Amino acid sequence: MSKRWVVGMTGASGAIYGVKLVRYLLQADYTVHLVVTDAGWRVLHDELGWNAAKRKETLNGQFSEGYANLVYHPIQDIGASIASGSFRTEGMVVLPCSMGTLSGIAHGASGNLLERAADVMLKENRKLLLVPRETPLSVIHLENMLRLARLGVAIIPAMPAFYQQPSSLEELTDFMVGRVLDSMKIEHDLYRRWGEA
């Protein structure tokens, strides 16, 4: 089986995190099954200037290196491969993860393909990593995260560190994506680890 990861992107701020992760996985010769919510496309447009009206063409342009290993699934395609537990993957990352999507996953709503794919990860006991990007957090947000953490979901809030003395936005982004890759058990050199020269 080829190395497959599902990556979901939602309407939370921080689209650059998801884009950076997808680029890294493609460059590392992983097959990426990408699903983006409609709100996620809005954020890609607002934060990165992507053309949300021409989605496949935009993805082809943005991920030209490794595009052959990118499989894009429209959000309402409930018949997609990633909606079935018989389709084997290493796991799934939702980056960034909105609180609405997190709630849908926590309660098994499966209201769209992204939520259904996450539900598959839970029922098949595969890795599921959620990277919420929200502040402040309400009690509802915290309870939903606790519910998922108790099910074995990795909750990785988008909280970059500063001990590596970042000099650019890219370095902060690299740190956060690197922490996600750590939880995926994928080797990388995106940031300087604590105690390293």
Tell me if residue 181 falls in helix, strand or coil. helix
For residue 59, being part of any structural domain is answered with yes
* Confidence (pLDDT) at 195: 79
Low-confidence ranges of the chain (pLDDT < 50): none
CATH number for the domain that contains residue 115: 3.40.50.1950
Number of domains within the chain: 1
Q: How far apart are CA 89 and CA 193, in angstroms?
A: 28
Across the chain, what does the average pLDDT equal?
95
Pairing state of beta strands 4-9 and 91-97? Answer: parallel
For residue 197, being part of any structural domain is answered with no
For residue 191, being part of any structural domain is answered with no
* Confidence (pLDDT) at 27: 94
Domain that holds residue 136: 4-184
* Confidence (pLDDT) at 164: 86
